[in-house]
Structure 1
């Protein structure tokens, strides 16, 4: 890596971060292209029958493509947060996806089932009473944070999926500051991506992953510090 100082150093650092975000984000887009196309087709589906028909391959592809590829993005984001230098973003991303593929597929199956249950309950209950709809939205936001916490834990600690799900749940309900930080980060970046659609292919997923992992990492450092202080008493 070349060393620069002053203005050139700052320019080089910005260019390096843009390259990191864009390459990893674009890799994620390529892998998830079938899922994205199915999602777009579902949005414009003219009937419920076609919507249900399109949801079947989507449900199958989510554990096989979405979760392994997203965990690989978070693993890359962990490297950036920890200051780890990687010689090849493409090679490193592929290694992370390959190494965790089996484990992430099984986790993806369970997470997909949970999200399916939430989706069915949401569309059913929101028509029963507006209060139920609000409650399901709150549950959905908590489920989103839980899923992101699972991603962060899976790339930062060596645990079984059972332990990862348990700890992701405890972090989700146990730290309101981190909870709202994850929501704010995700919502802000997604809002900007909807307004400036050209950001999505290059930055959206990778930036969300980096910023939410950074929040998670700061949270874990505080927990580890408190645990060490308690141990030294």
Structure 2
């Protein structure tokens, strides 16, 4: 049944709300062990407890977090490219299982980078304020790098070496994309801390959508410029 005008807009809005909420809930269900550990860290903020809980957290990141995040990105990519999805659950599960091996190994490397950053940040912030600030900026860049890496991994067929290299080039070489990803996600996370149900239904899926959309627009510009150079 086709709708137009106000009813058509209302139907389209409801469809997008359903898409975001279903995929977000699937991600949350997949990452329940990780979320439980993070919740325990918040409840027991002692240094010893955090260190003990950080071990299973580090193990679960490549097993659950990165494969599920990749599945969310691949799913929203289908939406942006207007690919047919008969079932949101099946689409998410297909991307999760199909990309699991690659996202697991990539996630292990990215988890190691996160661990090194956490250790360095905690060390340098106690040593000197400016060094701590510098490490904070490095952490922000690492976050954008990870988001760009996942976007690349679901959009292009490349070796892991090429993905890591190109993600670095995109992160440091395109300030517009960098700040688009950073500011869009920062605003989303800020709102999610204030409005709790956003995290439950929208935060991760909307974050993936905003990030991949910015990345996709960037790739279109690059490919357009490359096509013009070839035609000369």
Fold match, TM over 0.5? yes
Query: Partners in 1 of 2:160 and 2:71 — Cα distance?
Result: 16
Query: Partners in 1 of 2:144 and 2:17 — Cα distance?
Result: 26
1:203 is the counterpart of 2:216: no
Query: Partners in 2 of 1:136 and 1:101 — Cα distance?
Result: 31
Superposition RMSD on alpha carbons, in Å?
A: 0.8
Query: Partners in 2 of 1:47 and 1:87 — Cα distance?
Result: 47
1:98/1:9 Cα in 2 relative to 1: closer, same or farther (>3 Å)?
A: same
1:156 aligns with 155
Query: Partners in 1 of 2:158 and 2:41 — Cα distance?
Result: 36
Task: Say which SS state the counterpart of residue 3 (structure 2) adopts.
Answer: coil
Query: Partners in 2 of 1:43 and 1:154 — Cα distance?
Result: 32
Query: Partners in 2 of 1:162 and 1:25 — Cα distance?
Result: 30
1:68-79 to 2 correspondence within 5 Å? 68-79=67-78
1:190/1:102 Cα in 2 relative to 1: closer, same or farther (>3 Å)?
A: same
Query: Partners in 2 of 1:167 and 1:104 — Cα distance?
Result: 16
Shift, 1:46, TM fit: 4.7
2:138 aligns with 139
Query: Partners in 1 of 2:51 and 2:209 — Cα distance?
Result: 34
Greater mean deviation of Cα atoms: 77-86 or 165-174: 77-86
1:108-163 CA deviation, whole Å, 9 max, x = no partner?
00000000000000000001111011101110111000000011001100111111
Query: Partners in 2 of 1:88 and 1:178 — Cα distance?
Result: 31
Shift, 1:45, TM fit: 1.9
1:173 is the counterpart of 2:176: no
Query: Partners in 2 of 1:75 and 1:3 — Cα distance?
Result: 28
1:57 aligns with 56
Query: Partners in 2 of 1:26 and 1:155 — Cα distance?
Result: 20
1:217 aligns with 216
1:33-74 CA deviation, whole Å, 9 max, x = no partner?
110110111122253222111111101100000000000000
Query: Partners in 2 of 1:34 and 1:180 — Cα distance?
Result: 31
Query: TM-score, normalising length from structure 2?
Result: 0.98
Query: Partners in 2 of 1:12 and 1:84 — Cα distance?
Result: 19
1:3-18 to 2 correspondence within 5 Å? 3-18=2-17
1:20 aligns with 19
Query: Partners in 2 of 1:197 and 1:189 — Cα distance?
Result: 12
Unaligned runs of 5+ in 1: none
Unaligned runs of 5+ in 2: none
1:46/1:73 Cα in 2 relative to 1: closer, same or farther (>3 Å)?
A: closer
Query: Partners in 1 of 2:75 and 2:166 — Cα distance?
Result: 21
1:117-128 to 2 correspondence within 5 Å? 117-128=116-127
